[in-house]
Each structure stands twice: as structure tokens, then as C-alpha cells.
Amino acid sequence: MARIVVVGAGMGGLAVAARLATLRHEVTICERSSSTGGASGSIVRDGFTFTTGPGLLTLPAVYRDLFLKTGAAIEDVVDLVPIATPTRESFAAAGGPRTVVDIPNASRSGTHDAFESGFGPGAGDDWQRLLHRAGEMWGITRKTFFEAPLLADPAGRAERLRSAGGRADLRTTAPWRSLRSLGRAHLSDPRLRAHLERFAVEAGCHPGKAPATLATLPYLEETFGVWWVRGGLHRMTEALHARCVQRKVKVRTDTEVSTIERAGGRVSGVLLADGGRLDADIVITDLPVDPGTAGLLPGPGPKAPGAGRVPASSATLELHLALRGRTPGTPHRTYLFADDPGREPDALFADRATPPSDPTLCVLAPDDEASAPEGHSAWTVQLRVPRQGPVDWDSAAVRDGYSATVLDLLTRRGLDVRERVLWSILRTPADLAGQTGAPGGAVPGAGADGPRNAPRRVPNRSAVPGLFSVGASAHPGGGLTRVGMSAALVAELIGRA
């Protein structure tokens, strides 16, 4: 039995703690804030509940496996449901009404037909050809990239090179190619290209720099569907916290780790910001950056590779709206694309940026009676913005003006809810930075997707013996699904007590 300290109680930290406690280790989680869940949280006020962070879950198999292996099926603790009307996309059309397509859940033929009727003959076929290629990419990267850990030691690097695949595989995954270039080669309609590129923009990447393998994201959505947890996705975080407690994990909130201690060349414990200390044989970080950059590994010794080498990423802004009235039939998420979506990413990554004036808006409107009082709705508008730094999101002038800008944009694009707003809450990248420690509130580790870029992520097993990493900054990356995968990979590396 090893004494294990997990630093951070985001989904990754909770998931790895539950798994390792089930494998009979003695596990303590140290979380610096007063609640668990990190980026996956909630705001509850006046009978309204907003999920902050994730708007939906893909590949639920990852969490089914987690709950099953740690005690009981996910269905026993949360109500996981496929989303009936998942996605509407609306595009500006020169001088006329916007073009709207409704994309069904987990239906390749339904998506084909939606693109054919929305964008014109041939668009659905183009998209299917691209998704076919994305399916092949998934077949190749699943085993070597997603289901294998990233190890900092030379043996790990050698193994990665060995399993990198032959020429045919490389032709398919095209690690030299960007998502934008893949889209241009397959898709003649600019709106379809915008549909593809939004997967990069949401992941915090510029589509012109994001790897082509990000095309696996729409493939996964169309193949395995998109899911919601009744009451809000944070219910899954809460269930996972409860599972940790059942498994006798000590969950210590308001406990910040300031240093990971080393003795005799390996991890020996953690120092706490309040002056306390915990012995540990193993430390697992669940941080939005590598532990070296977070300042937890002072002094000489190997730092986690990846530090400072991950390209800068953009961030997400959320406007939560408590609304009077219900609008049955509103899709779970509605994308109101920018007038010129192809130019949007350039503004996000400029050194001296301003809050975007023409961003794509994603309106999350879960059809979930548990989220609002009767006759009311809880909507969240998400948009991609420059991180804290290039824009000062703490400035009152920027914050106050921007809520109004977003509501005006909604109106201009056909969703006028101004008369229905009871109150709203704006959450900026500065708020997220304060909540999770993500530098600038930016998407952790973005831009490092794909086989060629994988080593830019924080390795799951570091060069410091006894030090491991999970979560969005670690391999295989961000989003609930991959974060859950990182926890499974690390639990397997450490093994049974």
C-alpha cells in the first residue's frame, strides 16, 4: 500500500483518487479551494442552477468504466441521458435570413441530410468523406495516443517511437497538417469549414495550428453521441466526490500544496501553504499546468518536460442568464456563428487583444426542468475570448460593457431574450484563473493534440520517481473524457497495492 497525495480535486484528481483507493492505496486529496470539481462546477441561485464549464459529455464509456470499477454503475448515482436535440448551427447569409442547420445526435445519415439541405447538394457527401478519414485517424490514434500513457523517461519515449505507426498510418494522421488545411482539402463550403474549425477553437487552439487529428472530435460526437446529466453535469462531479469518500479517500478542501518534497531523488511528501506537511510515497498532480511551472518543484532536479513549450491558448467566457419563460424545442446548444468565422481565431491570439466584437456564440439551453423554477429557463452563453493578460478581464469597464455586448449580439442574430432576463452572471477568464489556477484562465495544454505534439503535454509519469500527473494539462489532454482517460492511465501505471 502506498501513501498517495493527489494535488487538486478537479475531475482528474477525483477520478484517479477513486481508482487508486479501490486498488487499496491510502489516498489523500488536497484541494486549495473550498469545494471540489475545479473547472466543472455549478452556480445555484434563486432556484436556478447553472453548470459552469462543461456543456455536455462525449464518450460516456470513460465514466461508465470509472464508476463501475470503483463500486457501482454510473446509472446508480446520476441520470445520464443522450441529448435529444443537441445542436443547431446558424450562419450569416449575405442580405437574407441566416442559414440554420439542426444536427441530430449520433446519426451519420441525419447529419449528412442536415448539411445537404442546409448548405446545398454535395455538402453532406463532403462531410462524410472527411468523417471517414477522421474515423481512420481515431482507429490509429486510439491505441497509441489515447490509451497509452505518456512517460517522461527514455524508455517511454522509445516505446512511443516504436508504436508511432508505419507510413500508411502517418499518411492518415498527417501529423504535419493542420485542421484548417484538412478542412480546406475536403470541404468546399465555408460554413462546413467553420463547423469543423469550431472544434479547434473550443479546444483553445487556432485551427491553422491545431493538428488535423482534432477531426476525431466531431467523429466521436457523431459516432458515440453527446450526453447530459439531469440536474447538470456537476452532479457527476458530486457523485465522484461521494464515491471517493465511500472509498475512504481523505478529501481535504481549503488545503493548498505549496511544494512537492523530494528526498533521495524521489518524492517524499508535500508541504502545505498553511505550514503543514504530509508524507507521501507518490504524488499525483491535477493542475492546469505542469508542477514545475506551478512552482511546486523548487530547487534543482528534473522538471516536468512540457513546461513553457505548449502554445498559448485562448479562453472561454460564460454569461449565465436567469430567464423568465420557457421556449420548448430550443436545442441543447445553438451556435450563432460570427459573420466571418474564418477570421475569428486571429483576434483570439493577437498579442495586444481586445474583447472580440464579432465572436461566435454558443447558447447552452439544457431541456432540464431541474435547472430552473417552473416557467423559467437557465441559459449559458459561451464564447471564446483572449485569455486574461492580453485583455484585462478584471477591469470593471470591460466586464460591465461586455454583458451588454453579448446580449446585443444575441439579438442581432435572432435570439432576443433581453426582456426575459431576470439577472445574469458573467464569468471571465480572470474568474476561471482564480478558481483553478489556469494561467490567464486559458484552456490548459491546448494546441498539443495529436501524435506529433503529444510530448508537449505534461507526462503521466514524470522524470521524478513517484511523481505522476493527470488532468487537462496532462496527456492525453483536456475535456472530461480525456481527463477521465488520464486518471485510468495513471491508476494502471501505479497498480494495485
Ligand X SMILES: Cc1cc2nc3c(=O)[nH]c(=O)nc-3n(C[C@H](O)[C@H](O)[C@H](O)COP(=O)(O)OP(=O)(O)OC[C@H]3O[C@@H](n4cnc5c(N)ncnc54)[C@H](O)[C@@H]3O)c2cc1C
7 binds ligand X (CB under 6 A): yes
Note whether 316 binds ligand X by CB under 6 A. yes
Distance CA 384, CA 331 (A): 20
Cell 482564480, residue? 434
Partner residues linked to 277 by β-bridges: 271
Can you tell me whether residue 134 is helix, strand or coil?
helix
Cell of 35: 469545494
Could you tell me the smallest distance in angstroms from the CB atom of residue 300 to ligand X?
21
Tell me the closest approach of the beta carbon of residue 417 to ligand X, in angstroms: 20
**Binding segment for ligand X among 153-161, 190-198, 284-292, 336-344 (CB under 6 A)?**
284-292
- Which residue, 38 or 331, is less far from ligand X as judged by CB? 38
C-alpha torsion sign, points 446, 451, 455, 457 = positive
436 binds ligand X (CB under 6 A): yes
C-alpha cell at 116: 445537404
**Contact flag: residue 270 with ligand X (CB under 6 A):** no
183 alpha-carbon distance from chain centroid: 22
| C-alpha span between 310 and 474 (Å, rounded) | 11
One residue of 178, 466, 479, 488 binding ligand X per CB under 6 A: 479
Does 40 interact with ligand X (rule: CB under 6 A)? yes
Nearer to ligand X, 213 or 481 (CB): 481
Stretch that binds ligand X, among 111-119, 124-132, 402-410, 429-437 (CB under 6 A): 429-437
C-beta closer to ligand X: residue 141 or 172: 141
What would the grid cell of residue 21 be? 483507493
Q: Does 368 bind ligand X (CB under 6 A)?
A: no
Q: Is residue 483 within the footprint of ligand X (CB under 6 A)?
A: yes
288 binds ligand X (CB under 6 A): yes
Size of site (CB under 6 A) for ligand X = 37
Residue 130 CB, nearest distance to ligand X (Å)? 22
Determine, following the binding rule CB under 6 A, whether residue 386 of this chain makes contact with ligand X: no
Under the binding rule (CB under 6 A), the answer on residue 286 touching ligand X is: yes
Closest CA to 316 of 408, 381, 404, 389: 381
**Interface with ligand X by CB under 6 A: which range of 119-127, 217-225, 285-293, 334-342?**
285-293
Q: Could you say whether residue 11 binds ligand X (CB under 6 A)?
A: yes
The nearer residue to ligand X, 134 or 287, going by C-beta atoms, is 287
If the CB atoms of residues 78 and 483 are measured against ligand X, the closer one turns out to be 483
C-alpha neighbours within 13 Å on the C-beta side of residue 406: 28
Residue 445 found at the interface with ligand X (CB under 6 A): no
Q: Does 236 bind ligand X (CB under 6 A)?
A: no
256 near ligand X, rule: CB under 6 A: yes
Our finding on whether 53 is near ligand X (CB under 6 A) is: yes
Contact 214, 133 (CB under 8 A): no
Q: Indicate the residue among 126 and 344 with the shorter CB distance to ligand X.
A: 344
Residue 38 zone, left/alpha/beta (φ > 0; ψ -120 to 50; rest) = left
Q: How far apart are CA 438 and CA 221, in angstroms?
A: 26
Which residue's CB is nearer to ligand X, number 37 or number 165?
Answer: 37
Does 211 sit near ligand X (CB under 6 A)? no
- In this structure, what C-alpha cell is assigned to residue 419? 426582456
Q: What is the maximal distance between C-alpha atoms in the chain? A: 71
- Alpha helices by DSSP H, 418-479: 429-436
Tell me if 413 sits within 8 A of 361, measured CB to CB. Answer: yes
Q: Which stretch binds ligand X (CB under 6 A): 3-11, 64-72, 353-361, 402-410?
A: 3-11
List the one residue from 4, 5, 10, 332 that touches ligand X (CB under 6 A).
10
Asked if 282 contacts 297 with a C-beta cutoff of 8 angstroms, the reply is no
Least distance in angstroms from the C-beta of 176 to ligand X: 27
Give the DSSP letter string of 73-84.
-GGGTS-EEE-S
Bridge partners (DSSP) listed for residue 89: 101, 335
User: What's the rounded Cα separation, in Å, for the pair 227 and 355?
Assistant: 31
8 Å CB contact between 108 and 219: no
- Interface with ligand X, residue 54, by CB under 6 A: yes
Residue count (the chain): 497
- Going by C-alpha positions, the residue among 417, 311, 405, 320 that lies closest to residue 356 is 405
CB of 316 to ligand X, least distance (A): 4
Which residues form the interface with ligand X (CB under 6 A)? 7-13, 30-33, 38-40, 53-57, 256-257, 286-288, 316, 318, 382, 432, 436-437, 471-472, 478-481, 483
